[in-house]
């Protein structure tokens, strides 16, 4: 099988676009030098790129259908964090061999996600290499349906900090060699991002871990005065977010404080973490109910004064994160920057 | 240096967009989950992706500034083939180490091309891996300024076949270990593609080699009746396209026929090959003069009849290419599919 046969067999669906917005006389999909589309109502276009490398971003044991779903879903999670709707994507395949059964399963997982989220394969590139690991490169394109994109940089002093869903399953599963639903099939929070677009002040998807990703919001929102603020996270609220499997798997081995610290550094969640003014609480709870997605208020952005320095100077370029017990069961604890770093 | 410092130092230019079309209130560049842009006049958007792997698509000896230019230029060459204007791009860096001097030179080459072609860096991803070779993934986005994109699939019976510039330097330089301008700095034919958009019936950029890339046009244009046509290329016209360095380097070692066959299979040209009706000849020659880019009429699309089969059945899925001497210096020669295949 050569490159062209591989594309024809597994990736060229040759039908009408999945996304009805692309179904007009301008659409050019796979098979040319580039793809072409036109949006008649001219909304802002959103673009995001990710590389996934075997052994770094996914295990060599991952099932091909799960991987096909994953390479698209993690990019759509970035679109979700911006409040964007998926439109299409390009796929780069860097493979060390062309295996028919593997490609068949991979493309099934890929097009499953493509259909589920209305995101058309627009084109791409396939490369055979001699390395032991495979890599994938996806660029996803979306659009903003009215208004502006939801950014990382709008967090304000006194804002609430929220997180969707639960936390801790992926890192627990990796540590204990259990099965994690989120690792098998990460779910981009597209509908949630759309709803939050006009409510939240900043938003990010949790890929590296809450303690790391939340600091991205802080650095983007306070580029010149990061030292003037800190975020305090509520221990008891985070305990409510702990994944049930995580609690079960670690029963008798880790206490809640240890579980919360583990969950804070666990990546691959693909939940949304966002900030919003306290006036938006009822609206956010209504969104949670409407979409049937748990949204938990887990902290707030506070003014940092000299007395509060609490020996945290070493982290001054990262943003200050503290864990606070609302019931005063322990003194405030500094949360180190310990999210997984891919680089 | 970590990923964020690498991006800040070498890739976040933090200024206004280079491309004035992006300079409105909607633009979001590097630093968020995704980039955002809006085009007020709503033209069709064009998207193309390429992967470049060390040792496959570029030599390990390439200078970093040349590589930085190259990763963008080869993608823009795909936009050129569609008749599109560059707008922006995302960059995926898969590196096995973070070397300050290397990154500095790479980003200089990259942003040199970015400024030259008015194509803004929109975002990307950086990955550190343990493989011996580096890889790069670029997705370029362009737009069509009036009308439709120039496709691969519009070639008609009796059309002329044209090629821009000269041929043969890159493959000759690789074989003889000489320096090739095109390998050091490939030049995407953006202005030419724009001009050809309403004149040519099909177009492709020459990355794999003329004998291979021309067959892409033939297969795309005659998906159901590839057996009914053939393209004949004129030997004497191709001799006129031979690169001067190639002729000099091979003087006394290869005759013109050998040079033409070598040039037909040489990749990395980034010239445009296109088809057009014979009525468009004077218009095409005017474009050539206006842009000061040589455009040579090298062949034509002919009807294939049974008598012409000439034992070429083995290539029936590839498209039939024959080399014809206009002065009858030799009998027609079949041109094998011998362009470089990346896969």
CA neighbours within 13 Å on the CB side: how many for B132? 8
pLDDT above 70 as % of chain B: 94
CB distance A133–B137 less than 8 Å? no
pLDDT at B78 over 90: yes
Which among B143, B150, B147, B186 has a CA at the least distance from the CA of B275? Answer: B150
Chains A and B form CB pairs within 8 A to the count of 219
CB distance B47–A122 less than 8 Å? yes
CB distance B53–A129 less than 8 Å? yes
Q: Contacts of residue B221 in chain A, CB cutoff 8 Å?
A: none
CB distance B343–A132 less than 8 Å? no
What span, in angstroms and rounded, lies between the C-alpha atoms of B156 and B160?
9
Ramachandran sector of residue B264 (left: φ over 0; alpha: ψ -120 to 50; beta: rest): alpha
Which among A230, A251, A209, A220 has a CA at the least distance from the CA of A324? Answer: A230
What span, in angstroms and rounded, lies between the C-alpha atoms of B238 and B214?
14
pLDDT reported for residue B43:
86
> Could you say which DSSP state residue A59 is in?
-
Closest Cα in chain B, distance from residue A279 (Å): 25
What span, in angstroms and rounded, lies between the C-alpha atoms of B58 and B8?
26
**pLDDT tens-digit readout, B120-160:** 998 888 888 887 789 999 999 999 988 889 999 999 999 99
pLDDT reported for residue A340:
55
Q: Contacts of residue B343 in chain A, CB cutoff 8 Å?
A: 2-3, 6, 98, 126-128
pLDDT reported for residue A59:
86
Closest Cα in chain B, distance from residue A176 (Å): 25
Contacts of A18 (CB under 8 A, 6+ apart): A114, A115, A118, A119, A120
Which among A181, A204, A327 has a CA at the least distance from the CA of A256? Answer: A327
What span, in angstroms and rounded, lies between the C-alpha atoms of B317 and B210?
17
Which among B239, B232, B39, B198 has a CA at the least distance from the CA of B120? Answer: B39
Residue A279 backbone phi and psi in degrees, to 5 = -65, -20
Which among A162, A166, A198, A170 has a CA at the least distance from the CA of A273? Answer: A162
| Average pLDDT along chain B | 90
CB distance B127–A82 less than 8 Å? no
CB distance A132–B131 less than 8 Å? yes
Alpha-carbon Rg for chain B in angstroms: 21
Which among B236, B122, B316 has a CA at the least distance from the CA of A139? Answer: B122
Contacts of B183 (CB under 8 A, 6+ apart): B170, B173, B174, B268
Q: Which tokens hold the place of A335?
A: 């949360």
CA dihedral of B25, B30, B33, B34, whole degrees rounded to 10: 60
Per-residue burial over B177-215, b = 16 or more CB atoms within 10 Å of its CB, e = otherwise:
eeebebbebbbbbbebbbbbbebbbbbbbbbbbbbbbbb
More confident residue, A81 or B5: A81
Of the partner residues A31, A36, A127, the one whose CB lies closest to the CB of residue B44: A36
Of the partner residues A43, A46, A342, the one whose CB lies closest to the CB of residue B3: A342
Of the partner residues B32, B342, B343, the one whose CB lies closest to the CB of residue A82: B32
Q: Contacts of residue B49 in chain A, CB cutoff 8 Å?
A: 90-92, 123-125, 137, 139
pLDDT reported for residue B224:
92
Q: Contacts of residue A90 in chain B, CB cutoff 8 Å?
A: 47-49, 139
Return the percent helix, strand and coil in chain B, to nearest 5.
35, 25, 40
Provide the whole-model pTM.
0.90
Q: Are strands A135-143 and A45-53 parallel, antiparallel or unpaired?
A: antiparallel
pLDDT reported for residue A343:
45
Q: For testing the chain A interface, which of B36, B148, B216 should be mutated: the one with the most A CBs within 10 Å?
A: B36
CB distance A45–B32 less than 8 Å? no
Of the partner residues A51, A122, A151, the one whose CB lies closest to the CB of residue B127: A51
pLDDT reported for residue B309:
60
Q: What is the pLDDT along chain A (343 residues), one digit of tens a residue?
A: 777 677 777 777 667 788 888 877 778 877 788 888 888 777 889 999 999 999 888 888 899 999 999 999 999 999 999 999 999 999 999 998 888 899 999 999 999 999 999 999 988 888 888 877 899 999 999 999 888 899 999 999 999 999 999 999 999 999 999 999 999 999 999 999 999 999 999 999 999 999 999 999 999 999 999 999 999 999 999 999 999 999 999 999 999 999 999 999 999 999 999 999 999 999 999 999 999 999 999 999 999 986 666 666 666 778 999 999 999 999 999 998 775 554 4
| Spatial contact of A102 and A64, defined as CB atoms under 8 Å apart | yes
Helices B100-117 and B3-10, axial angle in degrees (round to 10) = 50
Q: For testing the chain A interface, which of B21, B29, B38, B47 should be mutated: the one with the most A CBs within 10 Å?
A: B47
What span, in angstroms and rounded, lies between the C-alpha atoms of B291 and B195?
9
Of the partner residues A33, A44, A81, the one whose CB lies closest to the CB of residue B26: A44
| Range of lowest pLDDT (A332-341, B95-104, B163-172) | A332-341
Residues B282-305 have a mean pLDDT of 97
Residue keyed to tokens 């791009």: B89
Q: Contacts of residue A122 in chain B, CB cutoff 8 Å?
A: 47
Q: Contacts of residue A151 in chain B, CB cutoff 8 Å?
A: 28, 32
| Spatial contact of B74 and B50, defined as CB atoms under 8 Å apart | yes
Strand partners, B204: B273
Alpha-carbon Rg for chain A in angstroms: 21
What span, in angstroms and rounded, lies between the C-alpha atoms of B336 and B338?
6
What order do you get walking across the sheet with B321-324 strand by strand?
B202-205, B272-276, B160-164, B295-303, B229-234, B321-324, B333-334
The full set of domains in chain A, from first to last, is 3-143 (3.30.1330.10), 160-334 (3.90.650.10)
Which among B94, B93, B95, B90 has a CA at the least distance from the CA of B124? Answer: B90
CA–CA–CA angle A330, A333, A336 (5° rounding): 155
């Amino acid at each position: 099988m050569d490159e062209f046969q591989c594309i024809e067999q597994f990736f060229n669906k040759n039908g009408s676009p999945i996304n009805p917005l692309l179904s007009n006389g301008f659409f050019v999909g796979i098979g040319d030098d580039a793809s072409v589309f036109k949006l008649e109502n001219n909304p802002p276009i959103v673009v995001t790129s990710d590389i996934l490398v075997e052994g770094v971003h996914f295990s060599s044991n991952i099932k091909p259908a799960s991987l096909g779903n994953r390479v698209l879903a993690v990019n759509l999670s970035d679109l979700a964090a911006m409040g964007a709707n998926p439109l299409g994507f390009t796929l780069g395949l860097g493979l060390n061999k062309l295996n028919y059964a593997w490609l068949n399963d991979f493309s099934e997982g890929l097009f499953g996600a493509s259909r589920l989220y209305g995101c058309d394969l627009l084109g791409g590139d396939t490369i055979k290499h001699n390395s032991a690991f495979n890599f994938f490169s996806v660029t996803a394109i979306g659009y903003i349906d009215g208004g502006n994109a939801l950014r990382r940089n709008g967090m304000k002093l006194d804002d609430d900090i929220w997180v969707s869903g639960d936390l801790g399953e992926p890192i627990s599963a990796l540590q204990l060699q259990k099965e994690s639903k989120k690792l098998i099939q990460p779910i981009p929070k597209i509908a949630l991002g759309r709803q939050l677009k006009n409510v939240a002040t900043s938003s990010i998807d949790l890929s590296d871990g809450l303690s790391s990703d939340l600091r991205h919001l802080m650095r983007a929102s306070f580029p010149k005065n990061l030292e003037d603020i800190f975020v305090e996270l509520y221990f008891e609220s985070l305990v409510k977010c702990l994944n049930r499997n995580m609690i079960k798997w670690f029963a008798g081995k880790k206490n809640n404080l240890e579980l919360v610290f583990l969950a804070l550094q666990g990546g691959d969640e693909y939940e949304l973490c966002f900030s919003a003014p306290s006036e938006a609480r009822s609206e956010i709870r209504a969104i949670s109910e409407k979409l049937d997605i748990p949204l938990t208020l887990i902290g707030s952005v506070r003014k940092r004064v000299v007395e509060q320095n609490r020996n945290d100077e070493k982290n001054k370029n990262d943003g200050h994160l503290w864990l606070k017990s609302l019931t005063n069961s322990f003194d405030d604890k500094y949360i180190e920057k310990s999210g997984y770093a891919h680089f």
